[in-house]
A = this chain, B = another copy of it.
Amino acid sequence: MSSRVGIIGVGMTKFGELWDRGYRDLIVDAGAMAIKDAGIEGDQIEGIYVGSMSPGLFAEQEHVSALVADYSGLRGIPASRVEAACASGGVALREAYLAIKSGEMDIVVAGGVEKMTDIPTGSAAVALMGAGDQELEAFKGVTFPSLYALMARRHMVEYGTTIEQISQVAVKSHNNASLNENAQYPFRVTLEQVMNSTLIADPLRILHCSGITDGAATVILASEEKAEELNNDPVWIRSSSLATDSIALHDRKSFSRMDAAILAARKAYKGAGIKPEDIDFAELHDCFSIAEILAIEAMGFCEFGEGGKITEDGETELNGRIPINTSGGLKGRGHPVGATGIAQAIEAVLQIRGDAGKRQVKGARTGLIQNVGGSGATCVVHILSGEKE
């Protein structure tokens, strides 16, 4: 067993409508960048985990584990695809971490990829609804914006959260995205623009919703021994946790708290031996702006019900008390579903290395990343740090 696991290389494509690149091109591009960043050769890689939500419905292609190994020039090595809807990337990171902890491998790639824009938007909506309960939600006409709209409405009723506060999440995300050259939407939006944008599922408007995105992201993990042998300066995965909840929203205890996120956060903090106040920044799963508020609260960055208020007060901004989604988040950076969890890890690595450029959080040493599948049925949390312990 390797006692510790570190990230020694990162690479990602630009996120967006990438009509000149196919599924396999995207993930190979990201992988090659990560290998270069790690300063290793491809033949040092001992295993691959690919997070991808629905290549079957997006491209009639399954078995992407072997496809990725093949097109990366790594035929032969163990490759597995993992899937947990929009948390597929986070689960890939976790399984790669566990594979190294098992002692069976020393250098493992965790990649995430989705190619969503090659099919009509209606078909993409069908694919994405596969993250919910097909029989009890999708078949009845429920869509993801409507599920998150229910959560938003309930949060507003229970806590007095305002649509201005929810909208401010998007304003902040776009501010940060404007500093990220890989972002799908690298521009600012005003509160008025968000609040007057097209209504999708009341109270959520289009500028509260992440887009349909192509993209891939890859990180390379190594055991402590191997990282030291390579003379690499890793960002350490201090803990990894995964929790689940009912697949259908209507079966939850609460619409205004995300229990899987709360449970995963508790386990992650315990595993790392730290508290929310030790976290310098976080990448949270803002597939819809209300989701960031739920996540801020679940991660313990404020009391339940206060997520909207601390956003409005600027505490989650780049120079605030707890910067959230410095990358631009799912809203601003884009949300190629399987790639998102890995892109979150990359942002954390860049911040901890001090390589985040104009969006650098001063003194960032420890960050939390949180990736959600569906309406909260899966939640993955990792704590990353420049400090080994």
Q: Interface of A with B (CB < 8 Å)?
A: 1, 22, 53-57, 59-67, 69-71, 74-85, 91, 94-95, 98-99, 101-104, 126-127, 129-135, 138, 241-248, 251, 259-260, 263, 373-374, 377-378
Contacts and interface: CB of A to CB of B under 8 A. Distances in A.
A65 B378 contact: yes
Contact of A243 (B67, B77, B131, B260): B77
Given A22-B135, A91-B80, A247-B70, A54 B62 contact: yes
Counting chain B CB atoms within 10 Å of each CB, which of A71, A81, A94, A247 scores highest? A247
B263 A76 contact: yes
11 contacts: A56-B57, A60-B129, A60-B134, A63-B130, A66-B378, A77-B244, A80-B82, A80-B91, A80-B242, A81-B83, A82-B95
- Mostly, the A contact residues are mixed
A377 to B, nearest CB: 4
Contacts of A75: 244-246
Nearest to A77: B244
A320 to B, nearest CB: 32
A60 B78 CA distance: 28
Q: 3 shortest A-B CB distances, which residue pairs?
A: A1-B1, A62-B130, A66-B377
A145 to B, nearest CB: 17
Contacts of A82: 80-83, 95
B130 A60 contact: yes
Contact of A374 (B22, B63, B71, B103): B63
A70 B101 contact: no
Given A57-B62, A78-B243, A80-B242, 19 more contacts: A54-B56, A56-B130, A57-B60, A60-B126, A60-B134, A63-B83, A63-B377, A63-B378, A65-B244, A66-B246, A66-B247, A66-B377, A67-B377, A71-B247, A74-B244, A76-B245, A78-B244, A83-B83, A95-B95
Contact of A56 (B84, B127, B263): B127
Nearest to A376: B66
A36 to B, nearest CB: 22
A248 B69 CA distance: 12
A65 B79 contact: no
Contact of A66 (B76, B79, B126, B374): B374
A261 to B, nearest CB: 12
B80 A95 contact: yes
B98 A134 contact: no
Counting chain B CB atoms within 10 Å of each CB, which of A95, A102, A127, A130 scores highest? A102
Contacts of A81: 82-84
B1 A70 contact: no
Contact of A138 (B57, B60, B245): B60
B104 A85 contact: no
